[in-house]
Every structure is written in structure tokens, then in C-alpha cells.
Amino acid sequence: MDLIENQEENDFRRELKEWLRNNAPVWPQSQTEDELAESKAAWHRNLYDGGWLGLTWPIEYGGKGLPPYYECILNDELGYAGAPPKPYVGYLGRGIAEYGSEDQKKELLPSLLSGDVRWCQGFSEPGAGSDLAAMRTRATASDVSSYRVDGHKIWTSDAQYADMCLLLARTGSPEDRHRGISAFVIPMDNPGISVAPITQASGSKEFCEVFFDAVEVPSSNLIGTEGDGWSVAMTILSYERTPAELGFTSRYISMLDRLEARLRERNTEHDQSIYQRWAECYVEVQVLRNYTIWSIFNGALLTGEGAWSSIDKLLMTSVEQNLYRLSMDMEGAAPLLDCDNSLLGEYFYSRAQSIMGGTSEIQHNIIATRLLGLPKSV
């Protein structure tokens, strides 16, 4: 199974390929965290200026209003070109586009798309990751026109570079669980917000803790109405979980090709178990790609339809982790000894796939209860 395209789609793909040949960046391995953030921002800008972002977003908010399939072509070609993926903050835009007021959409979406304003996603808290509804960060209405926010977020990616945060905070009582949560947009330079980057074992400081101490937020910064926060979050997460972005599969196919070339180069007959594992990865990638294409043509994933995206995420996590484990085993000690070898960092990052955007266990629970209709555990 593969993609069948009409003339316009095919022309679009050809034009994009040509653009990527001249514009896809190769980032140096040894970038500092700040340099990497700048590289990501420059790539965001470059994609936007090239006219490749917001393909399916409405024209009035800076998008191109094209059918969802164009987004697939973009992701697919980025993957084949070995280019960095498109900026992930687009998921936040989906939440704002679906729940924001007309004024908010006009004000926030164009600059989010262009990358002029950088965003972070303030959902997780210590004690409220998988169980997001247990969050304790509070937004208390000070008067009719504003809220006061107090609390502590964690694992907030790129918060140290963000201008704006899409924040979830409790506006109801803890017993209300997910019904008592609201979503706000908050400028990160508001008095009372402090950001503390977390240094990981790899040395990277991708995530931060973010503290909110009596932060004043106008009521007009509420996305949707009070209590809509859970729906906003689930909309964003369902887009985040889905690699309906064929880009993942084209990236894996390119990786399989490289591994195959490496295996042929080594030409060692006693590598049977490695050949076997390569073949298993090949089958997994094809299953993922076929499932993704099937989903695209059935309209399930690109509309971010909640529970179906959990299947995609699980498949993609398995493929990615198996491919990187295989790569590491094939390279022996080299990635551990050579500082310029990027494989070790990529291998570590593949481990995060089963955590970010909701852990694999949680995806299994969603599939069991919402797709298979099994009872919730007691």
C-alpha cells in the first residue's frame, strides 16, 4: 500500500522535494542547548517563509486552507530528506483553533505559525503526569476580570525560550477532577513566573520546572470557557500522539536503508540475529506505514480523533525503540567512546517516546477502555 496522488498533490511533492534539496539543514552534533534552540527557531522560520507551514490551517489565521493530505506529504518528505521535523508547537495551535475566541485566534495563531512567538505547554506537574486530572496548580478568580495563578509545572519543554505558555490550571475543586480544569494563555514574562531548567543525565536541558507565584492573568486569556481545559488538553494531546505524520515512517525507512548498507559493508555471516532483527524492524515499519496510510484515507488520524491516535503512538514507539536498539548493538562501543557520534543521544531520546505525550501504559488503557470497551480497572 502506498499513497496515490492526483496531479496537484504530485506537483506539490515535487516542488517540496526541490525546496528541501536546497534548504534542509544539517545541524552540527555539538550544539549547545542555546544553539540548538536557535537552530530550531531558524528552521521554523525557514519552513514558514518557504510557505510550508500551516498547510491545512484556515487562511484567515495565516494558513493555506489545503486538504489534510498536504500535511502528510510535507511530513513524508521531511522524513525522507533527513530534515528536522516540523515544529511541534502546531499541536497547541489546534487547541486554540478549536476552543479559542475569534479575537484569540486572530491574535495568537499567525505568530505561533510563523514562529515569531515561541510557546511551551504547561500541563504536567509533580504528581500529575499520567493522572493529569490530579493537577494542583490553581487559578482563582480575583474579580470578574482576572485570575491569580499559583502552582508548579514540570517537564515543560523549551520553557526557557518560550514567550507564551498554554497552561492548564484548576479552577474547580479537586473532587471535580477533569471537569474543574481550565486552559489559559499566559505570557512567560508575567511577574511571578520563574523557570528552572532541569539538567538531564545527557547534559541536555530540554525540560524545565515552571513556578507560578500569584501570577495575575486577565479572564480574556481563558481558552474556551471555565472548565473547558480538559477538552482543550485532549484535543492537543490527540494531535501530539498521532504520527499520522508519515514523516516518522519515512525517517524509519531511511534509517533501515542506512542500517542495511552498514550490514552489507560488514558482511559478516555470523550476524544472523542482527539480520533477523533488521527484518523484524522492516516489518514493523511497513505495518506502521500501512496503518498510517489507512488511517489517513479513513480520516481518523488527521482529525486528531482521540483514541485511535493511541494505536499509532504505540506502534511508532515500538518501531523507534527497536530501530535504535538495533543501531546501538550494531555499532558496539563506538557511540559510547566517540563524542561526535550522535547515535547515543538519539538512542536515549528514543526511550522518551514511551513517556512523552502520555506513556505506553496509558495508551494501552485508552485502547482497552475506549476502543475495545473493556472495563476500567478497579
Ligand X SMILES: Cc1cc2nc3c(=O)[nH]c(=O)nc-3n(C[C@H](O)[C@H](O)[C@H](O)COP(=O)(O)OP(=O)(O)OC[C@H]3O[C@@H](n4cnc5c(N)ncnc54)[C@H](O)[C@@H]3O)c2cc1C
Residue 127 Ramachandran class (φ > 0 left, ψ -120 to 50 alpha, else beta): left
Residue 361 sits in the site that holds ligand X (CB under 6 A): yes
Residue 359 sits in the site that holds ligand X (CB under 6 A): yes
| CA–CA distance, 24 with 9 (Å, rounded to integer) | 21
Among 198, 287, 352, 368, binds ligand X (CB under 6 A): 352
Residues between 320 and 339 with contacts to ligand X, criterion CB under 6 A? none
| CA–CA distance, 303 with 370 (Å, rounded to integer) | 17
Q: Are strands 164-170 and 119-122 parallel, antiparallel or unpaired?
A: parallel
Biggest distance spanned by C-alpha atoms of the chain = 75
Among 50, 84, 129, 345, binds ligand X (CB under 6 A): 129
Minimum CB separation of residue 198 from ligand X in Å reads 11
Stretch that binds ligand X, among 56-64, 91-99, 121-129, 314-322 (CB under 6 A): 121-129
| CA–CA distance, 263 with 335 (Å, rounded to integer) | 17
* Closer residue to ligand X (CB): 20 or 159: 159
- Contact mark string toward ligand X, 132..161, x via CB under 6 A: -----------------------xxx----
Stretch that binds ligand X, among 73-81, 120-128, 187-195, 240-248 (CB under 6 A): 120-128
* Closer residue to ligand X (CB): 114 or 359: 359
Stretch that binds ligand X, among 111-119, 214-222, 270-278, 359-367 (CB under 6 A): 359-367
Minimum CB separation of residue 297 from ligand X in Å reads 30
Phi, psi of 151 (to 5 degrees): 160, -165
| CA–CA distance, 272 with 65 (Å, rounded to integer) | 50
Amino acid 170 reads R
| CA–CA distance, 262 with 241 (Å, rounded to integer) | 31
Residue 355 sits in the site that holds ligand X (CB under 6 A): yes
Among 56, 75, 104, 124, binds ligand X (CB under 6 A): 124
Residue 200 sits in the site that holds ligand X (CB under 6 A): no
**DSSP letter (8 states) at residue 125:** B
Dihedral sign from CA coordinates of 141, 107, 132, 226: positive
**DSSP letter (8 states) at residue 117:** S
Minimum CB separation of residue 244 from ligand X in Å reads 19
| CA–CA distance, 34 with 56 (Å, rounded to integer) | 31
Among 56, 75, 104, 121, binds ligand X (CB under 6 A): 121
Residues between 233 and 252 with contacts to ligand X, criterion CB under 6 A? none
Closest CA to 121 of 152, 157, 149, 148: 157
| CA–CA distance, 326 with 289 (Å, rounded to integer) | 20
Stretch that binds ligand X, among 1-9, 46-54, 330-338, 349-357 (CB under 6 A): 349-357
Residue 192 grid coordinates: 511571578
The residue sitting closest to ligand X, measured at its beta carbon, is: 129
Q: How many residues bind ligand X (CB under 6 A)?
A: 17
Q: Are strands 164-170 and 207-218 parallel, antiparallel or unpaired?
A: unpaired
The total of other beta-carbon atoms located within 10 Å of residue 373's CB is 7
* Closer residue to ligand X (CB): 128 or 259: 128
Stretch that binds ligand X, among 33-41, 100-108, 118-126, 333-341 (CB under 6 A): 118-126
Residue 365 sits in the site that holds ligand X (CB under 6 A): yes
Residue 110 grid coordinates: 499567525
* Closer residue to ligand X (CB): 181 or 362: 362
Residues that bind ligand X (CB under 6 A): 121-124, 129-130, 155-157, 352, 355-356, 358-359, 361-362, 365
